[in-house]
Structures are given as C-alpha cells and as structure tokens.
Structure 1
C-alpha cells in the first residue's frame, strides 16, 4: 500500500499547518469525487481521479506553503531594500540571507518542476472546487491536443526525457 500524496506533501510541516492542509484536502477531495460522478461537465475526468487527486494536493500545498514562502522572500526583499538589513528577526526566528537564498533555490526548483509538467501557478488560483476541476479539465484538453499533435509529428521517434532541475 502506498503513502497518500497529501501525507508526502505535509511530511515535516508543523502539526497545525499539516492538519489544516490535510483537512482542506479531505473536504475538497470528497467534493471532487461527488462532482466527477454527478456532473456532466466533469465526467471526462472519471478515468483520471488519481491525477486529479495529485493535482489537488499540489494546489493546496502551493496555496498554503509555497505562496507563503514567496511572500517571505518578497518581504525580505522590501525590508532589505529600505534598510539594508541582512537579518530580519520575527519573534525567536531570524530570517538570514542564507535562509533567504535556500528558500529562493527551493522556489526556483519548484517552479521549474511544475513548468516541466505544463502546470502554471495560475492553475492554482481558484476558490471553489468546481473551478479547480474546470482548470484540470482544461489542462487535460491541452495535454490531449499536445499528445495528438506530437504523435502526428514524431512517427517513430522516441521522446527524450528532459533533466529535472535538481
């Protein structure tokens, strides 16, 4: 039995944040299954439930973790611009230039990875679960079109896997 993807995304996160992400995921996943089973608009996703689940977990992780890391970088940049401070103290935590650079490297790798799979950060900009499914439906249509086009163009050529950015 494999580990649920949401557990992989939340591993190592503080309990309060991990629990919030897990609960949101479970609530939205129930809604996803209901909409796919009962809505004509999303019937085309019935065979892709596992992929939808992965994208849902990724989108929630993006909203709750990645966007906050991005915000921390922007905050650091603004403070540094006006004060030339190397370290920003927030309670007992010190955000140093080294920490900032680690976060920046992580975000660069993350963005390269999602770009490699044709996912844009805009795809994670939704409020309602039905909006998320509409985005997934559009990604599927785009992928189906690209696959059809590639099959017509390649005729016997093997695809070469690009290197991951890390």
Structure 2
C-alpha cells in the first residue's frame, strides 16, 4: 500500500512539474508583445524611403494610432528613423482567447490606414501558446508566422 501511495505521489509531482515548465505564451518578463513596423515609399526607382520621420514626408509627432473604438493608443511610438511600434498583447490580455485587434493609423487628414492583428491560441498545450499570427495593413497580409514568437518587424511598401 505504501508503494502505491509513493508511486501516486511521484506521478503527481512529475505531472505538476511538467506543466509548470511549459513556456508561457508571452515569453517576456513584463507580459507584453510589441509589433514594430515601418512604412516606405518609392521616391525614385529602387530608392525606398521612410514615410514617417526625418527622411519622410510625415513628421513623427503628427502620426496617431487609434483602436477599433477610436480611442487613441497611448503606447504607440513613431520615431525619427521611420520606425513605428505598438503593444498588441498587454499584461492583462486574456491568455486563453484568440486575439484579433484592429487599429487605425492616422498619417494625415487625407490618409488613414487600417492595421489588423490576428493570433490564434493553441489550447492543446499545458499552457496556452500563440499558434500563428498574421499582420495586415489595409486588409493586405504583410507578415505571418506559425510559431509562438510573434512577428518581430514588418516593412510596408505604400503607394
């Protein structure tokens, strides 16, 4: 009888340890994932320049990002070099749900574009992991991934 209890005890410990060693879907210590992207235009044949920033035609301070409810996204950043960054997974994002987020990138009063993220959660692992992700710009697929690392950066060529 003692042997049976001992075997059950070890199986319980191994089961608990196996699940606790699974990677978390976020991976970052702060629990957030950022999407980096840059917008480029062709100034002359084969000469692609950033749209935003020092070498572009839109100043980085005038670019705004709005969520699907038309609230300004406070953690959006656009820098002088033309790189933009936004947080698509925050610390309080539910880990067990698929993620689809739509944003509106305001470049000027004549130019507002749509950004959409789609991430599916793989619920077959002991901790839910991001299974695949897709990044759309104006309903055009720009980048996609089939792992849990996310899309580190995307370059968008704008006409």
TM-score by length of 2: 0.23
| Bigger radius of gyration | 2
TM-score by length of 1: 0.22
Task: Give the structure with the higher percent strand.
Answer: 2
Task: Give the structure with the higher percent helix.
Answer: 1
